[in-house]
Chain A
Amino acid sequence: MTEIATREHASASLTRGDMHPEVSVIVTVVERPEPLVALYREYASVLASCGRSYEFIFVAHPFFHEMLEPLLALEKEGEPVRTIESPRSIGETALLRRGLADVRGNIVITVPAYRQVQPSAIRELLAAVDGGVDLAVARRWPRRDARVNRLQHLALHLTAGRLANGTLHDIACGVRAARRDVLEDIPLYGDFARFLPLLAIYNGFNVVEVASEQHASDLSSRVYRPGVYVRRLIDILGLYFLLRFTEKPLRFFGLIGSVLAGIGGIALIVMLVQRLLGQPLGDRPLLLLAVLLATLGVQAIALGLVGEMIVHFNASRRRSYRLREPRAPRSESARNS
């Protein structure tokens, strides 16, 4: 992974002395951003009312350069805000990772640059994390938004949602809170940040959903360009493979391959028998189809075998399990209000 060079506008010093804040909020500015200063004020007031010290890190796609200007002004006024602008066009996951590299709080909240739930939801998320939950995610419930949105929601949960065995009901909600070490332990790459709760579950973390009131600005219907849906579909396929078959590629490719090769093989045997009984073989297009299926099947199995070989030789360097650490009650970051 190449290091992402970034233009960092912020100086490192915090406003409230040099103490580390308790809570770091990472805002990834990558799609449909709303005015960021207002967003900041809303979340900050909730955090302040909880009596937490906090910092905000805005990590932005270069396309939204202009939107960062008012934040710079805020920062000059001494608000605990930092802005990081990626010099290249990178995705949400890379932005999040960049933000994570800079956080100082023991608890990290991630929010998108648009409002999905009432900001007060983070109060309950923080309470859940304090109570020992590894990752708390907001769930927009009850849903009140446009039918198109809910249809897309349904599609997402019929596909990616199945990977969670019914424990997650709103994967697409980006308002999440976790201990920093949990986020650092979850391998984030590709475009999988949006599926963070799923990755957390598969890494053995304890994930809890908190029902939160949907924000008024999240209600209008959203339809994306076709390309977005194609990308999402590919993401889900990749995620499915990653979570289910990383250690056993042959079970995935082998299943596809043996079905194809099986159909092809049976057709070939039937035609061979018919040929022996005297029916000519050379002018039957079915032969072509059977050979095609058989070769495709063999190709799939061969790919699976290469996958198995790669897994076998890399087994020594990856751990296929995670131990549960005995969790000490939160003391070092106890509130200092």
Chain B
Amino acid sequence: MPPFAPPELSIVVPLYNEEESVGPLVEAVRDALEGQPSWELVLVDDGSRDSTAQVAGALAAADPRVVLLQLARNYGQTQAMQAGFDRANGRIVVSMDGDLQNDPRDIPLVVAKLEEGFDLVAGYRMRRQDKIVTRKIPSWIANRMIIWLTGVRIRDNGCSLKAYRRDLLDQLHLYSDMHRFLPALAAATANARIAEVPVRHHARRFGVSKYGLTRVAKLLADLLTIKMIASFRESPLAMFGLGALLSTLCAGAFFSAWLWPFVHPSASRDGSTMNAYVLPGSALLCVALAVFLTMLGLIAEEALQKVRGEDQLERYGAREVHG
């Protein structure tokens, strides 16, 4: 066994039911990285139901630079990516799709941009080859919302071709469906320096697209989460305090509406002065909400005090290594 020397560059590719694409993909990566310094290709099989694992396994056995990881079941693209990141040894890590829609020839491009001094370089798809109604429009809306909510100006969060510094990945831990928001997360939690480069995009050659149009609600929930993490990760109490304040204002409005006719009897055109329940009741509900939100904020601070401390330590530690 030769002594272990970590490669310079790791390519991470999640695969789900891509038996036809794997072969051409590995071939294309090999061609594209001809003459590059040492590299490894980490294929992550996300519990495919077809023969992806067998095909990829054979490719990995034939070339020591190709590694196959197999997830125990179908977990999803985020988990597959994180598994690949955990395994990747390179100083620079590049992620891309396994369906050949990204072009491996763009890998040197994003890497070169990263070397200019960025922590994350995201590709954005030139002349995107996808269906307009089901893919492009939802994607455009989602990207606008991400920019608007997080302030991270990435044109194309859905493009998987990205390059990262190892140090940055060590600070990010993907879960749920968070890979789509990786740049926003990186900017918000690790102060990453981010750049974009245009990349090629091909139409699907094999298989079917793995996304649908039914993801809007999930996307909204994730966006809300990202927004919260970006804005309030340092002080959850501030967020809930803000909510409590708004709720208190509502309570005040209801109380005022109730009391107004008492102050100005001539203005009692609501005929509501006699009803002692509806308006004060609504006001009290708002007060209850304010109290609830405040207590929830306190509990959140309490629950997160310890982990947040460790989290920050971890980050400062990473910063020092960074120089």
Contact = CB atoms under 8 A, between A and B. Distances in A.
Interface in B248-288: 254, 257-258, 269-275, 277-279, 281-282, 285-286, 288
Nearest to B296: A302
B271 A282 contact: yes
B277 A288 contact: yes
Contacts of B278: 281-285, 287-288
Contacts, number: 148
A74 interface: no
Contacts of A304: 221
B218 interface: yes
B288 A203 contact: no
A288 B285 contact: yes
Contacts of A210: none
Contacts of A322: 71-73
B135 to A, nearest CB: 22
A288 B288 CA distance: 13
A303 to B, nearest CB: 7
A247 interface: yes
B15 interface: no
Interface stretch (B22-30, B92-100, B225-233): B225-233
B300 A309 contact: yes
A42 B93 CA distance: 58
Most buried by B among A202, A285, A288, A309: A309
Given A306-B296, A312-B229, A321-B83, A281 B257 contact: yes
A314 B307 contact: yes
Contacts of A285: 277-278
A302 B293 contact: yes
B224 interface: yes
Interface string A145-173: 00000000000000000000000000000
B70 A324 contact: yes
- Per DSSP, chain A at the interface is helix
Residue from B175, B222, B233, B270 with most neighbouring chain A CB atoms (10 Å):
B175
B221 A313 contact: no
B243 interface: yes
A205 B73 CA distance: 8
B296 A303 contact: yes
A251 interface: yes
A288 B281 contact: yes
Contact of A305 (B228, B275, B303): B228
Interface in A285-331: 285, 287-288, 291-292, 295, 298-299, 301-306, 308-316, 320-324
Interface string B62-81: 00000001111101001110
A187 interface: no
A321 to B, nearest CB: 4
B173 interface: yes
A287 B83 contact: no
Interface residues of B, number: 61
B217 interface: yes
B204 to A, nearest CB: 26
A255 interface: yes
Interface residues of A, number: 44
B282 A320 contact: no
B101 interface: no
Interface string A225-252: 0000000000000000000000110110
B221 A204 contact: no
Given A295-B285, A315-B173, A204 B228 contact: no
A254 B240 CA distance: 16
Given A313-B307, A321-B80, A306 B286 contact: no
B58 interface: no
Contact of A309 (B75, B173, B175, B229): B229
Contact of A323 (B71, B173, B177, B292): B71
Contacts of A312: 225, 229, 233
Interface in A4-49: none
Interface of B: 47, 69-73, 75, 78-80, 82-83, 173-177, 217-218, 221-222, 224-225, 228-229, 233, 236, 239-240, 243, 247, 254, 257-258, 269-275, 277-279, 281-282, 285-286, 288-289, 292-293, 296, 299-300, 303-304, 307-308, 311, 314
Given A292-B285, A308-B229, 8 more contacts: A247-B175, A282-B257, A282-B273, A283-B270, A291-B254, A295-B285, A298-B293, A309-B304
30 contacts: A203-B72, A204-B75, A248-B177, A250-B221, A251-B217, A254-B221, A280-B269, A282-B257, A282-B270, A288-B281, A288-B282, A291-B282, A292-B285, A302-B243, A302-B296, A303-B296, A306-B236, A306-B303, A310-B304, A311-B176, A312-B225, A313-B308, A315-B174, A316-B311, A316-B314, A320-B79, A321-B71, A321-B72, A321-B83, A323-B71
